[in-house]
Amino acid sequence: MAELAQLRTIATAVWQEARAENDFARFQPHLEKIVDWRRRYANLFAPYQHIYDPLLAEFEPGMKTAEIQAIFRVLRPQQVELVREITTRPQVEADFLYQPYDEQKQWDFGVDVITRFGYDWKRGRQDRTAHPFTIHFGIDDVRITTRFMPDYFSSAFFSTTHEFGHALYELGVDRALARTTLARGTTMSMHESQSRLWENLVGRSRPFWRASTRAYRKFSRCSLGMCL
């Protein structure tokens, strides 16, 4: 585990630099070392039906790779057909998303939205990062991060609403479970269902943006740089 921690720490630093420069070759040897480590780790749990089973257990206890593959065998044809159908439609006008918006005003807008959604700032905070994540220190300390891109409004906003969903899930744990192993989200899929709910089903919904037109007048074109 100490070896993995060292590999990840070094790889993360290199990844941030390589990502900024669009230089995968620079990051590749570090990724290969981590993949090799994970394979060696999985082999400690042999025999198994699939080499990913021991790794999947870290995120979805009790589930096997074969079960995941069965789910995607059903979903994939439908997803492919959906993507094909979408590509036949005219492209929507999305130029307003790819404009330079003031970072502080993006921050303020995102904070205002998740405050209205119900984020408890007395039990958490938000910071900037290279890749958004949520971190849980306890029922009363669940922190989120977001990422800003100079010419893409959606990055910070949807990162903020996504991580809010993770945090709200953790902040909703029953206090009776405090200081026990049950005082966390159950599985990664459950966690992602909550983050995606707020990011996509709410944050990308027409009713939400219609409400935003009325509720966020102070973030109009003259302030944020875009008309909601």
Hey, which residues are catalytic here? 163
Do the bridges between strand 134-138 and strand 141-146 make them parallel or antiparallel, or are there none, so unpaired? antiparallel
The DSSP annotation for 144-207 comes to EEE--BTTBHHHHHHHHHHHHHHHHHHHTS-GGGTTSTTSS-S-HHHHHHHHHIIIIIITT-HH
- At 216 the three-state DSSP class reads coil
Question: Nearest 5°: CA angle at 177, between 173 and 183?
Answer: 55
Residue type, 42: A
Tell me if 136 sits within 8 A of 144, measured CB to CB: no
- Sequence length of the chain is 228
Burial of 159 (0-12, 13-18, 19+ CB in 10 A): buried
